[in-house]
Structure 1
Amino acid sequence: MTTPLITLEDAHSRLSLAPGLGGAIANWQLLESGQPLLRHADASALAAGTPRRLGCYPLAPWSNRIGNGGFALPDGWLTLEPNTTNDPLPIHGSAWQQPWEVLEQADGRVRLGLESREPFAYRAEQEFRLAAGCLEISLKTTHLDERPIWHGLGLHPYFPRTPATRLLAHAESAWLCGADKLPTAQVGLPPAWDFAEGAALPEELVDNGFSGWSGTCSILQPDLGYRLACSARGCDTFLLFCPQDQPFFCFEPVTHPVNAHHLQGRPGLRLLAAGETLEITWRMAVMPLTSR
C-alpha cells in the first residue's frame, strides 16, 4: 500500500506527514546526516497502515485507556467498545484511526483537519510549523455533539533510544498501575523515575503517567550528537512508555492521567458544550548536545 506523504523542510530538518494514516508524522530527520529525530518509519512501517508504526500521532478526544466500558456524562452514560485487537480497553480516542484532510499548506506550515462522528461528534485540527530546527504542533478539538462531553488531548511521539539516552523532566508524582494498565494509586516519584536532574531511562518496562509536570523536558542523545528541548502548553501530565529491548521510547504530553474519566475530580479533562474548544501545543527544538 502506498501512503501519500506531505513534506516540509527548513534549513536543518525534513518533516514527512501521513494525513491518511491518522494525521500522523511519518518521519522527522536532520537534513545533513539523515539522523531520525523521531523513530524512523521505513517503507514497511508505512505499508503497515497504522500510525503505531510511525513517528507520532494525535490523541483525541482522550489519551490512553478508559475502563468500565465507558464514562458518565452529566445526563447519562457514554458506552465505549475496545478499538484495537490487542487491548481489551478503548485507547487513545478515535482521531488516530481515521484519515485526516489537508486544510492548508504554505511555506513551513501544514494544517490538517478531521470531522469525526465516533465516539461522538467533534472536529479536530492539527497545525505543524517547522522553522530553524524547531517543530511546533498544535492540536485542538471542537465539540459538535448536542450533549456536553468530557474531552482530553495528547500527542504520542516515539523517540530513538540508545543505551546513552537520558531524559530531563520534572514531575511531582507518578501513577502506579494494575495488571489492566489502569492507575491504582498516585505516589511520590520512585528514585528510578525521577528525571528532574536528568537520568537514564529505566531498563524495566515503564508504561505510567506522571503529574505535576512543569511542561518542559529535554531528551539528551549523546550517542547521536544532539538534544531535543521540548515544551508543552495546556499539559501538566506526561506518559512515559519504555518497552523492554526496543530502540525507542515514548514521552507523551497529555492533558490528563490515564482513566481520568473515572478518577476523583476528572483531573485534566474539560467538559465541552457544543462549539467549545480544547487546545494544546507541543514544541521540539533540535540543537547540538554541547549547547545544553
Structure 2
Amino acid sequence: MSAPVRIAAGDLSLDLRPELGGSVSSFRLDSGPGPFDLMRPLAAPEGAAPHALHSGMFPMVPFANSIRDNAFRFDGARYSISPNMPDTRLNYHGSGWQLPWRVARHDASRVDLVLEDATVDDVYLFAARQTFALTPHTLTVELAVENRSERTMPFSCGLHPWFPRHRGAMVRFSAGWYWAEDAEGHATTLTAPEDDTDFGDWNAPPTIYQNKCFTDWNGVAEVLWPDAGILLRMRGDPLMNHLMFHVPPNGAPVFCLEPQTNAPCAFDDLERGVVNKGVHLLAPGQDLSVSCRFEVRTDLPLNQT
C-alpha cells in the first residue's frame, strides 16, 4: 500500500488514503502532552486488509444510507442494485467509498481527490470530487457528485466520520425527530426524541448499537473530550440537514455523526412523483455539491461540559 497523502497547518494534520475509497486515515492534533486523534485512526483488525470501513471518514456517494430493498422506481423505470458488503442484503452508501480515487492536487494544506466514471451496477454512472483544506484550527471538506449517465437520476450524498470515545467524549447537537429503523436500516417511523436520544445538551454517546437519522438538523454537532479540554465542532452546509448518529454493535470505542442530505430510504416515493427532502434529481452533466467544516478548539478548561 502506498504512503498516505498528508497535509498540515499549525498543529493539525490530515492523512488520506485515496486508494481506500478516498478515506481519511488520520485527523490529528499535535499539541499539548502529545498527539490527539480527532477521528479514528485507520487500523485494520488482525489478519484483515485495510479498508475504508476501518478509516476515520469516508464519502457517501452517489447516495447515502440505503435504498429500500435495493430497488426504486423513477420516471417509469425500475432500478435494482446489488449488495456491496459481505453478509448484508442491502447496498450501503453506494460505491464511492469502495473505489480508488486519484490525487488531482496536493499542496501543503490542501488535497483534491477525484473519482471518474464510477458506477453502481448498471444503474449509476457518476464522477465525484473531494477537497480537503486545512487551516491551523479548521478542516473544510467539500464533496461533489456529477451525474454522467444519459438520463436524469436521483442522487444524495454525505460524509461518514468516526469519532473516538476516548477522554470522556460527550456529544451535543440540535435536531428534530428521528427515523426509527428496522434491523437492516430501513426507515420505519418518525419518532420524537426522548431522554436517551435527546442531545440538545451534552450527553455521552450510547454504548450499545444505534442507527438513528435525525431530521431537521440545524447543521451543527459538537464532540467534546472534557478530559483533554478539546472541542470539535462540525458545521454542515444547509443542504446537509440530516444527521445520522451511529454506534456500531461490536463494542468498538467509536461513534459516528454523519452529516448527509437525506434520510434512509429517501427514494421511496419517487414512483409517485414525490421527491423527498435531501434527494436531488440531477440531469446529465449536473452536479450536487456540499461542504462541512470541522472546527477545533483547545482553549477549554479540563472537564468542562
Q: State the TM-score, normalized to the length of structure 2.
A: 0.90
Counterpart amino acid of residue 38 in structure 2: L
Secondary structure of 2:300's match? helix
Give the aligned residue type for 2:13. Answer: R
> In 1, Cα distance between the equivalents of 2:233 and 2:297?
8
Whether 2:266 is the aligned partner of 1:260: answer yes
Amino acid of the residue matched to residue 84 of structure 2?
N
For residue 4 of structure 1, report the CA deviation from its aligned partner.
2.9
Q: Which residue of 1 aligns with 2:39?
A: 38
Tell me the equivalent position of 1:230.
234
Q: Which amino acid aligns with 1:82?
A: P
CA displacement 1:184-221 (0-9 Å, x = unmatched): 10121122111112212123321111101000111111
Aligned partners of 2:18 and 2:100 also within 8 Å = yes
**After TM superposition, where is structure 1 displaced by more than 3 Å over at least 4 residues in a row?**
42-47
Tell me which residue corresponds to 1:144. 148
Superposition deviation, residue 230 in structure 1: 1.2
Is 2:183 aligned against 1:179?
yes
CA separation in 2, counterparts of 1:205 and 1:289?
33
Describe the SS at the equivalent of 1:52.
helix
1:135 Cα shift? 0.5
- Displacement after TM superposition at 1:108 (Å): 1.0
Which residue of the partner structure matches residue 14 of structure 1? 13
2:99 alignment counterpart: 98
Q: Output the amino acid matched with 2:222.
A: S
Matches within 5 A, 1:123-272: 123-162=127-166, 164-233=168-237, 234-244=239-249, 245-263=251-269, 265-272=275-282
Q: Provide the rounded CA distance (Å) in 2 between the counterparts of 1:94 and 1:41.
A: 19
Change in CA separation of 1:144 and 1:135 when aligned onto 2, cut-off 3 Å: same
Q: Tell me whether 43-52 or 191-200 shows the greater mean CA deviation.
A: 43-52
What RMSD over aligned residues (CA atoms) do the two structures have, in Å? 1.9
Task: Tell me which moved more, 222-231 or 17-26.
Answer: 222-231
Residues in 1 aligned to 2:263 and 2:82: alpha-carbon distance in whole angstroms: 20
CA distance in 2, matches of 1:107, 1:41: 21
Q: Cα deviations across residues 126-159 of structure 1 (Å, max 9, x unaligned)?
A: 0000011211100001111111110000001000
Q: Which runs of 5+ in 1 are unaligned?
A: none
Show the counterpart of 1:283.
293
Structure 1 residue 45, shift from structure 2 partner: 8.2
Q: Distance in 1 between matches of 2:256 and 2:44?
A: 21
In structure 2, the partner of 1:54 is 55
1:93-136 superposed Cα distances (whole Å, 9 cap, x missing partner) = 11001000011122311101001341211110000000112111
Gaps of 5+ in 2: none
Residues 46 and 54 in structure 1, CA contact (< 8 A), matched pair in contact too: no
2: CA distance, partners of 1:42 / 1:108 = 24
Letter in 1 for 2:247: C
Secondary structure at 1:86 match in 2: coil
Report whether the alignment pairs 1:109 with 2:110.
yes
Q: Percent identity?
A: 28
| Cα distance between partner residues in 1 of 2:64 and 2:178 | 16
* Cα shift at 1:46: 11
